[in-house]
């Protein structure tokens, strides 16, 4: 039977609870979702929103990416809780460090990607996660980074400008009605990166609430990671 894909829809995938191990001795909890019957074409490494404001690996855009994109777009989705963050999957060891010690958390995720030979990794950060991508993404073998609603609270102007000399793609997806950084200001603050792919989302908000915004964000991700999978289906056959 053909059904509409909704916010609670979980499509088929090979899902595995995983642990990551940081260079400073912590164990982080996470999940890897892979296409059920095919090898992945690309890999999405998720960096979640601010844990002190309720962000975690199950923040809804990242959760829905893991529920949909392995099946719809042949994308492997790696989600994990940064240090001290709790979700239904469990709590990662350590304590929140404001984006400083989390450098080792990003490295642990990328070590896992390398160990599993996951193809064409991209960092996809949302809010606080964009700060980690900007600050530390250039240290790793990634194809690029996608910034969903970047607040630019922790990443310095120098860290942003460093991407100007980098061959990897940098994509900023800016909600028109964001609480922290709206398109006009974002264009100014990212002006040091002339190769930036700038996407302003009309009526978008920082939390990307609603199925229309979810589909828009997932489409922007797939357009970079595996554009041949577009347009994303809005229905699936559960037979």
C-beta neighbour count of 212 within 10 angstroms = 11
Q: Mind listing the pLDDT tens digit for each residue in 193-215?
A: 999 999 999 999 999 999 999 99
Of the chain, the percentage scoring pLDDT greater than 90 comes to: 97
What gap in Å lies between CA 191 and CA 187, rounded to an integer? Answer: 6
CA dihedral 131, 145, 126, 119 (to 10 degrees): -130
Q: What is the DSSP string of 118-185?
A: -SSEEEEEETHHHHHHHHHGGGS--SEEEEES---SSS-HHHHHGGGG-SSEEEEEEETT-SS--HHH
Domain harbouring 8, CATH code:
3.40.50.1820
Contacts of 106 (CB under 8 A, 6+ apart): 47, 123, 132, 133, 136, 137, 139, 140
Whole-number average pLDDT of the chain: 97
Write phi, then psi, for 104 (nearest 5 degrees): -70, -25
Q: Mind listing the pLDDT tens digit for each residue in 39-77?
A: 999 999 999 999 999 999 999 999 999 999 999 999 999
Classified as helix, coil or strand, 200 is: strand
C-beta neighbour count of 4 within 10 angstroms = 9
What gap in Å lies between CA 50 and CA 74, rounded to an integer? Answer: 28
How do beta strands 86-87 and 90-91 pair? Answer: antiparallel
- pLDDT score at 207: 97
Q: Mind listing the pLDDT tens digit for each residue in 140-197?
A: 999 999 999 999 999 999 999 999 989 999 999 999 999 999 999 999 999 999 999 9
Structure tokens at 181: 């950084």
- pLDDT score at 211: 96
pLDDT at 239 over 70: no
Asked if residues 69 and 19 have their Cβ atoms less than 8 Å apart, the reply is no
pLDDT at 10 over 90: yes
Residue 85: which pLDDT band, with cuts at 50, 70 and 90? Answer: very high
pTM: 0.98
Our count of domains for the chain comes to 1
- pLDDT score at 165: 86
Structural domain span for residue 59: 2-237
239 vs 86, higher pLDDT = 86
Structure tokens at 199: 């996407």
Q: What is the DSSP string of 47-63?
A: E-S-GGGT--TT-HHHH
pLDDT at 238 over 80: no
């Amino acid at each position: 039977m053909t059904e509409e894909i909704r916010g609670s829809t979980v499509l088929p995938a090979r899902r595995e609870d995983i642990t990551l191990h940081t260079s400073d001795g912590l164990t982080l909890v996470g999940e890897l979702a892979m296409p059920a019957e095919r090898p992945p074409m690309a890999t999405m490494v998720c960096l979640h929103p601010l844990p002190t404001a309720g962000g975690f690996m199950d923040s809804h855009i990242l959760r829905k990416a893991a529920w949909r994109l392995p099946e719809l777009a042949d994308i492997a989705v790696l989600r994990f809780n940064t240090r001290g963050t709790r979700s239904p999957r469990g709590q990662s060891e350590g304590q929140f460090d404001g984006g400083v010690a989390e450098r080792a958390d990003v490295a642990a995720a990328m070590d896992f990607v390398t160990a599993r030979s996951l193809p064409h990794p991209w960092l996809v950060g949302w809010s606080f996660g964009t700060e980690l991508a900007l600050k530390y993404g250039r240290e790793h073998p990634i194809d690029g980074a996608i910034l969903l609603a970047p607040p630019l609270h922790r990443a310095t102007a120098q860290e942003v400008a460093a991407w100007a000399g980098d061959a990897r793609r940098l994509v900023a997806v800016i909600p028109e009605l964001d609480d922290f950084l709206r398109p006009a200001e974002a264009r100014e603050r990212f002006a040091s990166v002339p190769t930036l792919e700038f996407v302003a989302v009309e009526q978008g908000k920082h939390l990307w609430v609603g199925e229309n915004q979810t589909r828009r964000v997932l489409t922007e991700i797939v357009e970079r990671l595996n554009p041949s999978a577009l347009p994303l289906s809005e229905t699936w056959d559960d037979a």
